[in-house]
Amino acid sequence: MGEVVGAGLIAHVPTIVLPEEIRRELNRGEDTTLVAGLQQLRKDVFDTVDYDTVVVLDSHWATTVEFVVTAQSRRAGLFTSEELPRGMSKRPYDFPGDPELAHLIASRAAGHGTWITAIEDDHLPIFYATTNVWEFLGQGLPDKKWISIGVCQTADTEDNLRLGRALGDAIAESDRRVLLIASGAMSHTFWPLRKLRDHEAAGVEHIFTPEAAAADAERLEWFATGDHARVLDTMPEFYRYKPEARFGHYLMMIGALGEGDCRATSRQYGEYENSVGTGQVHLWFDRPADGFPRPRRTPTDPDYVRQTGGPDLAAAG
């Protein structure tokens, strides 16, 4: 039986792969703490924990009619960003995939009232929300498998949670020990182009609005105490600050970890920082001593129906 052995909300901000001298130029002579944070996370978790596969919940990969999970046996090549080609150009990546787990995840979709397709096409694009974090956390570990799941731009909160439930069930059904990475930001509004270069430093004063920074800070406190239920209950409020990908990367992750039943507390790596208006942070949630809670059931899940004799109307809301 498989299990999630750790999970993180991780910033993939392009600054982390720039040369140090450029990072310091952008940040008034100081380096971003996000780089050192990833380096420490690598030492504490990715170099030490026993795991087989990393699943990246990729906030830059937007699908439309379904969720998609990568199912190639290997992904390798040179990545140049269409968004920021000057800063991310011809960056090599090379890692094995996990087709068996990918197809198992897709097979759990119908039971959770959602749509997931496993795609094996070697020409499927890759995004820096995956490659940037792999460079820090996966490069040099050739036996560790990495797969990605995109966010669906037509999905709402419940849809993202359903993806997470299907993911969690598939992992439990497998023999894999898995690390989850919710790769993306918190509040996510960029400064307009003519003002942007005045706000490239990491200081919190450069977050797009003080209210957005305050909303992020509030949720950092809740993560630190393991109050995921409160994060979920206040999602309508948080949407006012435009979290990246409607916070789908986090919602998919916490759906796999039991939603509000999950009480895992966060460890923060580096500071909470600005990136041209957006809120960036690295948080890690260790596996509780008794494991993460099992994912909640979705109304259409046949296992739930067999166990209860009827639909889960609360989950349907």
**Number of domains the chain contains:** 1
pLDDT for the residue 208: 98
Mean pLDDT check: name the lowest of 106-115, 140-149, 294-303.
Answer: 294-303
pLDDT (average), residues 92-114:
98
pLDDT digits (tens, 9 = 90+) for 148-170: 999 999 999 999 999 999 999 99
Cα separation, 248 vs 155, whole angstroms:
8
Cα separation, 278 vs 148, whole angstroms:
23
pLDDT (average), residues 198-225:
98
How does the average pLDDT of the chain come out, rounded? 95
Cα separation, 15 vs 275, whole angstroms:
8
Cα separation, 200 vs 214, whole angstroms:
19
pLDDT at 87 over 70: yes
Q: Where are the beta strands (DSSP E) in the chain?
A: 3-10, 53-63, 67-70, 74-79, 91-96, 116-119, 145-152, 177-183, 266-275, 278-286
pLDDT at 317 over 60: no
pTM of the model: 0.94
Q: What percent of the chain has pLDDT over 90?
A: 93
Say which CATH number the domain at 65 has: 3.40.830.10
pLDDT digits (tens, 9 = 90+) for 186-198: 999 999 999 999 9
For tokens 């609005």, what's the residue?
Answer: 209
| Structural domain harbouring 57 | 3-316
Q: What tokens appear for 19 in the block?
A: 């040369």
Grade residue 313 by pLDDT with cuts at 50, 70 and 90: very low
Calculated CA dihedral for residues 71, 72, 75, 81, nearest 10 degrees: -50
pLDDT for the residue 297: 86
pLDDT digits (tens, 9 = 90+) for 4-15: 999 999 999 999
pLDDT for the residue 76: 98
pLDDT for the residue 303: 52
pLDDT (average), residues 50-56:
99
